[in-house]
Amino acid sequence: MQITWKMTKEFIRKDLYRNLESCSKKDVVKAFCSRNSTTGLLVYYRICHYFAGLEKRNVVQFLLHSFCYIRFMHLQERCGIEMSQRTEIGYGLRLPHKGGIVIHIKAVIGNNCEIMQGVTIGNNIMKSRDEVAVIGDQVLLCAGAKIIGKVTIGNTVIVGANAVVTHDIEDHMIVGGIPAKPIGKCDDRFVINKGQQE
C-alpha cells in the first residue's frame, strides 16, 4: 500500500498517543529531537517509510530522506532495536521498552500492536529466509517472545513471555510456551492508550 504524507502524519500521531497518551506538537518535536527514545525511533521510521515508498524523489526529498535515515539508524543502535524502513507496520505501534528487539524486513504488523523487549520476529532459516510472520491488529508480544517463520497471528492476541510461535494463532487467543499453545481467550482490555486516537 502506498503511504501518503497525510497518512504518515496520522500514523505518527497515533504512535505517539499509544506510547505517551499524548500527541501534541510539543510531543512530536521532542520525539523528533530525541537521541535515544523509542518514540523518536518511530517518528523517523514513519518518515523514512514514506520516502522509501516514493517512486521518484526530488533533491530536497532525497536530502531529507538521507538525514532521517541516518537518524533512524542511530536511534536503532541507541535503543537496541533492529528494524527496516521498508517493513509494513500499522498505526499505533507501542514500544514501551528498549533492547533486543529484531523485526524482519518482510514482516507485516497490524494496527495498535505492542512489542516488548527481547522480541524477535524472524525467519526459519531451515525453510526460507524470506517467509516471515503476518501479525494482525491489537497483538501484544510479551518480553522475549519469538515469532519464527511463515506464521499468521490473528487479531487481539497475546503471545506470552518467552513463548516461541511456529504455527498460526487464531483471533482472540492467549498463547504461551515452547512451542506456543493456546492457554486462554483474550479480549482487548490490554490495549492501552487507544481510546482517543480513533
Kindly report the average pLDDT of the chain as a whole number: 95
* H/E run at residue 90: none
The answer to whether residue 195 scores a pLDDT higher than 80 is no
182: cell is 493456546
Which residue among 81, 115, 140 closes a domain?
A: 81
pLDDT, mean of residues 172-191? 96
* Domain match, 51 and 118 both: no
117: cell is 523487549
What are the start-end ranges of the H helices in 102-142? Answer: none
Which residue among 53, 81, 109 closes a domain?
A: 81
Answer yes or no: is 55 within a domain: yes
Grid look-up 514514506 returns 50
Q: Comparing C-alpha atoms, which of 109, 108, 90, 106 is closest to residue 11?
A: 90
What's 124's DSSP letter? B
- Banded pLDDT at 128 (limits 50, 70, 90): confident
Answer yes or no: is 192 within a domain: no
What CA–CA distance (Å, rounded) separates 180 from 167? 8
* Domain match, 106 and 176 both: yes
What CA–CA distance (Å, rounded) separates 180 from 65? 39
What CA–CA distance (Å, rounded) separates 50 from 153? 26
Q: How many domains does the structure of the chain reveal?
A: 2
Question: Structural domain of residue 118, as residue ranges?
Answer: 100-185
**156: domain CATH number?**
2.160.10.10
* Domain match, 110 and 60 both: no
48: cell is 523514512
* Residue 178 Cα distances to 18, 72, 146, 154, 164, angstroms: 30, 33, 10, 19, 5
- Banded pLDDT at 100 (limits 50, 70, 90): very high
Grid look-up 505517551 returns 20
- Banded pLDDT at 129 (limits 50, 70, 90): confident
Pairwise pLDDT comparison (198 vs 89), residue with the higher score: 89
Which residue among 32, 49, 81 closes a domain?
A: 81
pLDDT, mean of residues 25-32? 94
Answer yes or no: is 86 within a domain: no
Answer yes or no: is 88 within a domain: no
Answer yes or no: is 59 within a domain: yes
- Banded pLDDT at 81 (limits 50, 70, 90): very high
* Domain match, 21 and 72 both: yes
Answer yes or no: is 39 within a domain: yes
pLDDT digits (tens, 9 = 90+) for 147-179: 999 999 999 999 999 999 999 999 999 999 999
